[in-house]
Amino acid sequence: MVFSKELICHWFARVKLSRIVMLVTLALVIVPLFTHYYISNVERDRDRPVSDVHRTRTKLEAYEDYSALKASDLKMRIQEMLRIKGSVSTELRDLEAKRQRLQSEVVSFSHKIDQLKSELMRQQAELNRLKLSVEQARVAQREALQQNTPEVAPPLGLVANELPSRLEGVGGAASSSCTMATCFDHSRCSLTSGFPVYLYDTSLFPATQFLRTAVTQTVGYNPHFTSDPAKACVYLVLVGEGEKRRNLSDLSALPYWGGDGRNHILLHLSRNDLTIESSLVPSADTSRAIIAQTSHPQFRPGFDIVLSVAMGPPGGDVWAEAASMLPARRRYLVSFQGVPPSKEGNLFNLTELQSYLSPTSDEILMDTGCEKSSELVVSGWEWGLCGTDSSRAAILRQSTFALIPAVAGSPAVGARLYEALKAAAIPLIIGDTPLPYNEVVRWRSASVSVMWARIPELHFLVRSIPDIDLLSLRRQGRLLWESYCSSLQAVVDTTLALLRDRLQLPPPPAPETPAISIFTDGFVPLKTEPVVADAEPEESLGPLEPPYPSPSYRRNFSLILTQGFEVWNTWADPFWLYPQLPFDPFLPSDAKFSGSGMGFRPIGGGAGGAGKEFCDSLGGNNPREQFTIVMLTYEREQVLMNSLSRLHGLPYLNKVVVVWNSPRPPLQDLRWPDIGVPVHVVKANRNSLNNRFLPYETIETEAVLSVDDDAHLRHDEIIFGFRVWREQRDRVVGFPGRFHALDLNHGGWLYNSNYSCELSMVLTGAAFIHKYYMYLYTHWLPQAIRDKVDEYMNCEDIAMNFLVSHITRKPPVKVTSRWTFRCPGCPVSLSEDDTHFQERHKCINFFTQVFGYTPLLNTQFRADSILFKTRIPHDKQKCFKFI
């Protein structure tokens, strides 16, 4: 059935009209009835006495005839009404106040119930953590009982206590075939001796005043130096420069020569005299002594030592002298400046070499017409140097390869190698000759060696090397030059380190910075309960454990065996022994279940698991460990106290080291929050941001969380960052990411903090680093960089990123999506200054100049938790609820 629109409207109108008629009818009937009822009651009340009227009138008081009342009665009536009104108003106010009180109590009780529920959850979580802690303690106890390897520490010295005994009748025949097994007294160099080195008086043999003074100072700075000859493992003799063989007969008169010169090192340094004729050769005069010099006409492999030419300064910061590594391909493909050989019968002809290189589009520089340098003496078999140091350096800085003809035993080879590496030119070595420290240093990773027979293929070889390998060779050459050749200090230290390496003796422990407390002896700072500004998520993040330091110095005698190549060529740091390294190898996954390792805490006992099992154990490929927080502060006591309070109950926290940069000590009545772990407040010698990375002796863990005093991080973020760092131990792992951007208008680099899909730095205001990098920052990083940090009071975080990327050639790792981490309401920090960003632009470009290139690497990777945004069953828990 279909209804039209007009029909429907008509029907609704009829319905509305009928309702109106019905309502009007009811009103006409009911209103007269009520009117009649009330008028009848009024008439009856009018006929009654006045007293009855007062008692019975209850409904139509408004119609009462007040004109019949007396004035006094009317007044009393009004007063009574006012009293009744006041009483009712008071009662209503009391009832409203009571209602509000009851309502407030209801709200208070509801809030208290919520608090009790929250407290119950916290106490339950705390109870679970305590149960977990007890279980972890039982596991640690069982491991301690089962442990079959001793805890080791830095090696204790076990040294000789008497002078070498004198042996007679030792001839030259024995010295010409010497090896470390036949001509060295190992009994004076025990494994824990510390390798003590004694230096003879440098004036015993003719030498320049520069060499005497420089050698005395450099050996004196060496950690192996001893002034007691009875304890010495080796004896160092400076025989000068250009000392002829006929003048070495006085060696036998040395007081500790012992008749055969065993354990003696004859240090023959070449600085100006680069001739083979001046070189020492094994003879009856040298007997069983080790000869350490640049050229070796009669080299004894495994016994004598090939030195780098001592052309550098005595010591100091040599980084500023190094050239830029870029561009990869320079103006000259190959360059050579020198004096060609004058003797007949040589195997190499410079004209022939030019004939193979010239018919190409590449620019080649062969300069043989220059005058011999007045500072250098050369002979026919050697390709001597010519021109001034500045002119040769200018050519080498424009050369991709520096040609070095290698005549066996020539000291000029070492001089050319030194200059090429300093200028960041790749050494192109023609021929075969022992290179400095060749038994431990792999020069093939920093140079190109070509045999004489391959001269026709030389251009094809060098031209086929791509840019990435050119820069890799150049960077490795810079690393080797800085560590082993750049200064006289480097030459002496490397010589002693090489001999110590032969004897398989560990280096001395790396120096640590004393952590002098800001508090005077006997003073106990006031403590207070921590007040957490905002409640942490109700989430179990790990067990509560007593402070547990990372095991240290476990690889004292095995590191050089298993990673000796990396020590000398990758890290280029064979001079110190570190408690731990970020490059220590991992055990296989099944080793921890087969009794081959202790301290592991696999998730679910090895069965794996989701959130609960994950939070109960650290898991990973390393044994259990903790981390130390290093917090630098300056005159912001309340901000510091608030930040410390937020650390209460943080799992895996070993201790907090507060670096007090302020010259004014903390107030005596300042109350420090009791956060459950030690808080060590270190007194800084001066206000410097470099203090953030000092390797304080009180830091006993590998993991260090460097954090600003105004940084605001949740516990789950910190623990997640710690877990990620445990898998990326050689990198900077943290929260605020930044990047270096190309300045399209003016060239160079700009520091950038804008949102970006790639980053190259993670700021150390909230980042995990390995303590190893704190040693390098303090003792290995160029002093010029630390000076720039002090000058700007800025950029220490950029310097640390430069350092780590330079060592590892890896970018940092950013964790979680947090962008800003500053606490709200904190006083203005240094980063709010208008000049902050301008200084950071300058820092990046200055650091690039010092390093010779920009080591920062870009990454588009960010670490988030496994199961992040993953749908999981209701009975399972995510790894982290909010990450």
**Euclidean distance between CA atoms 262 and 267, whole angstroms:** 14
**Euclidean distance between CA atoms 234 and 200, whole angstroms:** 11
Nearest to 637 by CA among 605, 670, 614: 670
- The per-residue DSSP string of 200-217 comes to --TTSS---HHHHHHHHH
Query: Three-state SS string across 322-367, please?
Result: CCCCCCCCCCEEEEEECECCCCCCCCCCHHHHHHHHCCCCCCEEEE
Residues linked to residue 268 through DSSP beta bridges, in sequence order = 293
Q: How far is CA 363 from CA 387, 396, 416, in A?
A: 21, 13, 21
Nearest to 656 by CA among 591, 720, 580, 709: 709
Q: Outline where DSSP puts E strands in 415-566.
A: 426-431, 448-450, 526-528
Number of residues assigned to the chain: 883
Q: How far is CA 361 from CA 200, 258, 333, 401, in A?
A: 56, 63, 10, 16
Q: Is 797 a catalytic residue?
A: yes
How many C-beta atoms lie closer than 10 Å to residue 588's C-beta? 11
Nearest to 651 by CA among 547, 515, 740, 575: 547
Residue 102 phi/psi, 5-degree rounding, is -65, -40
**Euclidean distance between CA atoms 791 and 843, whole angstroms:** 11
Question: DSSP letter at 588?
Answer: P
Distance from CA of residue 26 to its chain's centroid?
92
**Euclidean distance between CA atoms 808 and 882, whole angstroms:** 32
| Type of residue found at 47 | D
Q: What is the largest CA-CA distance in the chain?
A: 163
The answer to whether residues 727 and 703 touch, using CB atoms and an 8 Å cutoff, is no
Strand order in the sheet with 332-337: 364-367, 332-337, 399-406, 426-431, 448-450
**Euclidean distance between CA atoms 269 and 202, whole angstroms:** 13
The answer to whether residues 749 and 838 touch, using CB atoms and an 8 Å cutoff, is no
Catalytic-role residue among 185, 590, 797, 834:
797
Report the SS3 class of residue 864.
coil
Please identify every residue annotated as catalytic: 797
